[in-house]
Amino acid sequence: MDLNALAQHFSIPGILSFSQTEHGLRRASISSPACSAEIYLQGAHLTQWQPKGAKPVFFLSERSQFESGKAIRGGVPIIFPWFGNRTPTALSQRSDGPSHGFARTEEWTLAFAALAGDEVHLTLTLDPSETSRSLGYDQFQLVYQLSLGAELRLRLTVRNLSSEPLWFEDALHTYFAVGDAREIAIHGLAGTRYLDKTDHFKVKVQDEPVLRLTGRTDRPYLDTVAAVDLEDPLYARRIHVEKSGSRTTVVWNPWAASAAQLPDLTPEGWLQMACVETANVAADAITLAPGEQHTTEARILVRSDAIRQPC
């Protein structure tokens, strides 16, 4: 649909509107009694969600490239069908394709929009394209459902429409806005195994009861369904993330040296962000039988009255 058709079919007066960037990316903007938000059809990329009276929940880089075919740095990129660089699997020996897959730079279709109480409900879909077919993914469908209000619910469903098994990794790659990454505390992962990607993918266990970031951090925590709290004393809030259909939680911050290598991140951007991702990667990757589907879901709440004192 072009911009006029989107507006005609899905606009909600005073609540949901549509616009287009100078580079032609279409986006939906939400301003409801409960929250404000913004989502781009490219990548079904949620770049903003801000409950009324709260600070912005997601980090968005000032250097994000809002151009066709280029990933946006920040918000909630959708990672599918592989996480990081593509590597051979039992079902395919291919190793080609962009980092984090193709879903975050493909154009999605807005299929549904409605207001229920103070919540805005959106559904976007992604079907096979020339790009996905060239990478060996030609019989699938992604359905992304968002409920945006005082809390945020994200549901990514993968359907296997093939007569063969479908292997994939996925992630809701949430970039949370923080006052200072060096001051936050992440609760909920104590005693959990993780892959330390900063140390040759060694398998380690988090012995500390609370994770505090002290340097470059890139950890897929495996076989965990636990809820996670990101405690931010400078913003005087706790971001609570519950999940289902996910057995991996990824924690990532590039820190100063690695951030300097990212052209779409300002030198100080790493201080203002912390990624806590709802995912299924590595040993937790999903294989769907023909006709099956899988849903990965995250529920995000902001609590300003539940700040613990620093340890």
Alpha carbons 98 and 157: distance in angstroms, whole number: 21
Contact (Cβ atoms closer than 8 angstroms) between residue 24 and residue 68: yes
From the list 106, 119, 169, 277, the catalytic residue is: 277
| DSSP string for residues in 29-57 | EEE-SSEEEEEETBTTEEEEEEETTS--S
Q: Locate 182 and state its tokens.
A: 């060096």
Q: Locate 28 and state its tokens.
A: 């939906």
From the list 173, 231, 240, 294, the catalytic residue is: 173
Alpha carbons 15 and 59: distance in angstroms, whole number: 23
Collapsed DSSP state (helix, strand, coil) of residue 9: helix
Indicate the DSSP class of residue 139: S
Contact (Cβ atoms closer than 8 angstroms) between residue 166 and residue 280: no
Contact (Cβ atoms closer than 8 angstroms) between residue 246 and residue 279: yes
173 is catalytic: yes
Which residues are designated catalytic?
A: 173, 277
